[in-house]
A and B are shown apart, each in its own frame.
With several copies, the nearest count.
Chain A
Amino acid sequence: MSGTKGLNRQQMADRVAREFQDGWIVNLGVGIPTMCSNTDIGDRDITYHSENGVIGYGGVAAEGHEDLNLVNAGGQNVTLKPGAAVVHHADSFGVIRGGHIDATVMGAYQVSMTGDFANWKLKGQKGGGIGGAMDLAACARRVFIILEHVTRDGSARLVTACDLPVTARGVVTLVATNYGLFEPTRTGFLLREIAPGLTVDEIRATTGGMLTVTHGLREISISG
């Protein structure tokens, strides 16, 4: 993976999880987003929802204590927190489509400076893997994206306009990469925080589209 600079995967997840507010209902996508549930969020009460109808799941089950009929969206055997509830798939997407998810965290191939993103299909591919991503992208109150800042061959993933088929348009609220924390705005990507060891010039050189930098730019705290 190309993420040798800046934050590692758990640190990206940690930074996004710090955005979660007390009482939020959050859906975590497969991959790095799942790692948000490892983040210590102190005394904030967050309810994790997964597409298969589990509302209020906890950490991954300990070896030998798995319930084989209880998985999160990534198919991992998880536990339940007190106060959890299970609903069927249509009701679960009722939670999503009805606007009851405060934030969804997803991976992506590309994010555009206007808040489009692409995560279901490669260029020229026939078909793809949509899963619940389009529902979540279109309907969650906030869409947080976590992705490596550049591709394996060094090209930008934060772009002026996606050239991959998009998952939804104009929905991305916040982007965490290994290089920094970004917000799509009407004037392009706003760099809100920078990863330790990175410079604004490095980020500018590897970011497509316009880039503005917040006043008093701070480093991302990686203590948690």
Chain B
Amino acid sequence: MTQKTKLRSSFAEAVADIPDGSTIAFGGFAMPGTPFNLIKALMDQGAKRLTLVANTTGGAQQPRMPDIGMLVENGQVAKVICAFTAATRPTDKLPFTPYYESGEVEAELVPQGTLAERMRAAGAGIPAFYTPTAVGTELAEGRETRVINGREYLLEYALPLDYAFIRARTADTAGNLRFHRSQRNFGPVMATAARVTIAEIDEPIIAAGGIDPDDVHTAGIYVHRLVQVPPAPDGLWPTKRQERKR
């Protein structure tokens, strides 16, 4: 095994070479699976004109953790591709929303399942597919649809990524990953769609073969850099969700 090690000793090192203009996806659905430490390192690293892909831009919950909104506030973001440019409750305000409304940052609003499937398609070599989702809505206006077996479907294109930032519970040195419970969410999908996948790992990284091949959630061929998350307060960890005051 002469292949270069996938282990990185710091989050800073893991994101050091990311160029301006990259397309980067962040895993996570609420707290679980969100790569807080890599996002924080990207803020310090300072890459600009980024296109960021995630379920949401963050900031609806307290305590606030590193999120797309912070990168936007940091002036690093050109565009966001996500399922929420605004909060579900109209009374909640996402930090990102005013930047979008003012036109300072561009956004592409995508239904959550379509977002996941577009990245799955990119990873699996499917350049485009049809979906029933969003047919008849504002999101389908002016776009190509097709009737198949009597039902109307919308054409959607693959969404390839330059980088995926994800978080998992367990990793071996071959890059095989296991996620804990709903930590899994977008992680395995984004890993397949990215040229370079960087994973922050909860537990000490184990030797190749330490995960039974039947128990691997994301195959090591999709994972290029691994960083172990240090204990708090040096490392950032999910906390209990606190409702924002209304």
- Does any Cβ of B come within 8 Å of A154's Cβ? no
Tell me whether A131 and B117 are in contact in the complex, defined as CB-CB below 8 angstroms, given that A69-B180, A165-B138 are known contacts. no
- Does any Cβ of A come within 8 Å of B20's Cβ? no
* CB contact between B86 and one of A50, A82, A128, A132 (< 8 Å): that residue: A128
Contact between A138 and B134 (Cβ–Cβ < 8 Å)? yes
User: Complex: how many Å from CA A2 to CA B31?
Assistant: 32
Contact between B84 and A130 (Cβ–Cβ < 8 Å)? yes
Contact between B88 and A129 (Cβ–Cβ < 8 Å)? yes
- Does any Cβ of A come within 8 Å of B85's Cβ? yes
Contact with B along A31-54 (1 / 0, CB 8 A): 100000000000111010111111
Inter-chain contacts of B187 with A (CB < 8 A) = 88
Inter-chain contacts of B217 with A (CB < 8 A) = 88
Q: How many A-B residue pairs have CB under 8 A?
A: 235
Contact between A86 and B186 (Cβ–Cβ < 8 Å)? no
- Does any Cβ of A come within 8 Å of B149's Cβ? no
Tell me whether A90 and B83 are in contact in the complex, defined as CB-CB below 8 angstroms, given that A23-B4, A96-B113, A100-B222 are known contacts. no
Contact with A along B160-199 (1 / 0, CB 8 A): 0000000001001111100111111111110010000000
* CB contact between B29 and one of A55, A89, A91 (< 8 Å): that residue: A89
Inter-chain contacts of B83 with A (CB < 8 A) = 129-132
Contact between B180 and A52 (Cβ–Cβ < 8 Å)? no
- Please tell me which stretch of A71-79, A190-198, A216-224 contacts chain B, meaning at least 4 of its Cβ atoms lie within 8 angstroms of it: A71-79
Contact between B61 and A75 (Cβ–Cβ < 8 Å)? yes
Inter-chain contacts of B225 with A (CB < 8 A) = none
Inter-chain contacts of A163 with B (CB < 8 A) = none
- Does any Cβ of A come within 8 Å of B120's Cβ? yes
Residue among B33, B55, B123 with the most chain A CB within 10 A?
B123
Inter-chain contacts of B22 with A (CB < 8 A) = none
Contact between A44 and B241 (Cβ–Cβ < 8 Å)? no
Inter-chain contacts of A51 with B (CB < 8 A) = 29, 112-113
Inter-chain contacts of B181 with A (CB < 8 A) = 54, 67, 69-70, 80, 86
- Does any Cβ of B come within 8 Å of A25's Cβ? yes
* CB contact between B133 and one of A56, A122, A135 (< 8 Å): that residue: A135
- Does any Cβ of A come within 8 Å of B46's Cβ? no
Tell me whether A68 and B240 are in contact in the complex, defined as CB-CB below 8 angstroms, given that A82-B208, A89-B116, A128-B86 are known contacts. yes
Q: Is the interface of B mostly helix, strand, loop or mixed?
A: loop
Question: Closest residue to B172 on the A side, CB-wise?
Answer: A83
CB contacts under 8 Å to A, within B221-246, are 221-222, 237-241
CB A188 to nearest CB in B, in angstroms, measures 20
- Please tell me which stretch of A142-150, A166-174, A177-185 contacts chain B, meaning at least 4 of its Cβ atoms lie within 8 angstroms of it: A166-174
Contact between A93 and B124 (Cβ–Cβ < 8 Å)? yes
Question: Closest residue to B217 on the A side, CB-wise?
Answer: A88
* CB contact between A85 and one of B3, B112, B135, B176 (< 8 Å): that residue: B176
Inter-chain contacts of A59 with B (CB < 8 A) = none
Tell me whether A97 and B133 are in contact in the complex, defined as CB-CB below 8 angstroms, given that A55-B219, A71-B31, A85-B176 are known contacts. yes
- Does any Cβ of A come within 8 Å of B142's Cβ? no
Can you identify 29 A-B contacts, CB atoms within 8 angstroms? A43-B2, A44-B2, A50-B182, A56-B220, A68-B240, A69-B31, A71-B32, A84-B209, A84-B213, A85-B219, A86-B179, A87-B184, A90-B116, A93-B124, A94-B123, A94-B192, A97-B132, A97-B133, A98-B123, A99-B125, A100-B192, A100-B222, A125-B90, A127-B86, A130-B109, A130-B111, A131-B84, A134-B114, A138-B133
